[in-house]
Structure 1
Amino acid sequence: MPRGGSARGCCGGLCGLPFTVGLVVLIYWAIFQPHHIRATVDSATLSNLTVSHASSPEAAVSYDLTVSLRLHNPSVRVDIYYDAISAELRFRDAVLGAAANDTSPSVFFQRRKTSEVVKMEFDYGGPGGGVTVARDVAGDLAKETAVSLELDVHVRVRYVFKMFKLRQKPRIRCSISIPVKTEGRHRGFGGTVAASGDRCSVKY
């Protein structure tokens, strides 16, 4: 009987440990409140946009796009480590390609109440560097006077306060509308948009 009681006490202690740890984390979160990051598009420059229609059900789209994304840490006490950033561009649910080069910077440390601008480049304007999409999507893109694009950004971050660390994988979505005009007889279309002040959506 004594040994059975000791076993039950030990089991109860082990089961209570996760609860205690979870309670400590909850109290920490409530006190220090590591707020979700905020994101806005500072600027976006589109150039060499060309659409090549083919006889097949698919067509090729070539373009160069540079986006400056501002990331803000609104937390009062919590710093953030950005461990990885990847970006993808879409037009009406059609994927126009991932960021051709690593974001700059791709890894960085952000103190509380500060902002950092991340540059993303989509280099699909060279020979053979186009993206294959459905013909109807390419046709709609060619008709646009203001190209409406969606920037889809995946981020891996660590919220850090002293000895406490919390890992998260937020997803950032930004809507970008760029008025375009003819750049030249053989250069396609292009345009630039400055910051609109519209905040991107951030989901965890």
Structure 2
Amino acid sequence: MGSASRAVSCLCCPCKCLACGLFSCLCSILVSLLVTAGVLALILYFIFRPHMIAATVDSAALTQFALAPNSALSYNLTVAMTVRNPNKRVGLYYDGVEALALFEGQRFGYAPLDSFSQGTDAVTELKPGFHGQQPVQGDVTAANFRAQQSAGAFDVEVKLNAKLRVKVWAFKVPGPRARISCPISVPAPGNASAPAFQPTGCKVWF
């Protein structure tokens, strides 16, 4: 009975049967493409095994870091850091690179950096510099500034942001946006008794 009904339906509306057949065919092709893409992605992952970028702040110095009564922060901060691509089969391109400096969660410094590329298992040295004057907000921030000044070192966060492109063989494909955060303790300027700066590892996420 069911077969007879479908036959009658097809005879009455052959376009409907053709559309159903095309839809079924397209679904099968789409599923096959998705499965193939998934298998290829898995194979490429096991071949290349991408690793997370590594970054370290090797040195940092403050020649000026003063908070005026009007809450204007005058600063001169220099930083030397290294960024490493640990991948042995994947090259990286860094575009739109920017460095930020923050105190108590408030940005006080900004430094655009040149785009750069890294071959496999390569290390790049970056030296962002921040200098100028920037107002900071809040009595708590001012109190923490005075406390850290008395302690002889300031807790500063240096951030690095960049848009990645990934090179696999001769192909370059868009990658994620890399965000690097480096919380560092920098000796206060003019404090000879302050402990020397210690190289500090950074956190990286995408």
TM-score range, shorter chain: 0.7 to 0.9
Matches within 5 A, 1:149-188: 149-162=156-169, 163=171, 165-182=173-190
TM-score (normalizing by structure 2): 0.79
Answer 1 or 2: which has greater helix percent. Answer: 2
In 1, the alpha carbon distance for the partners of 2:195 and 2:84 equals 23
Deviations 1:14-70 (A, max 9, x none): 34323422331232122111211100002112112111123xxxx111101111120
CA contact (8 A) 1:154 1:169 kept: yes
| 1:40 matches 2:52 | no
Runs of 4+ in 1 over 3 A off after TM superposition: 191-195
2:89 corresponds in structure 1 to 77
Matches within 5 A, 1:112-123: 112-123=120-131
Amino acid in structure 2 at the alignment position of 1:161:
V
CA contact (8 A) 2:183 2:202 kept: yes
Amino acid in structure 1 at the alignment position of 2:175:
R
Answer 1 or 2: which has greater strand percent. Answer: 1
Percent identity (aligned) = 29
What displacement does 1:5 show? 2.4
TM-score (normalizing by structure 1): 0.79
What displacement does 1:174 show? 0.6
2:154 corresponds in structure 1 to 147
In 1, the alpha carbon distance for the partners of 2:198 and 2:87 equals 23
Look up the SS of the partner of 1:115 in the other structure. Answer: strand
What displacement does 1:195 show? 5.2
In 1, the alpha carbon distance for the partners of 2:73 and 2:195 equals 18
1:7 corresponds in structure 2 to 23
| 1:109 matches 2:111 | no
Runs of 5+ consecutive residues of structure 1 not aligned to the other structure: 184-188
Structure showing greater radius of gyration is: 2
Look up the SS of the partner of 1:149 in the other structure. Answer: strand
Amino acid in structure 1 at the alignment position of 2:44:
Y
Runs of 5+ consecutive residues of structure 2 not aligned to the other structure: 1-9, 11-16
Amino acid in structure 2 at the alignment position of 1:155:
A
Matches within 5 A, 1:51-90: 51-54=67-70, 59-90=71-102
Higher relative contact order (CA 8 A, sep 6+): 1
In 1, the alpha carbon distance for the partners of 2:107 and 2:142 equals 12
**How large is the Cα RMSD of the aligned pairs?**
2.4
Deviations 1:76-124 (A, max 9, x none): 111111112122222222332323xx22xx2111011110011211111
In 1, the alpha carbon distance for the partners of 2:85 and 2:195 equals 27
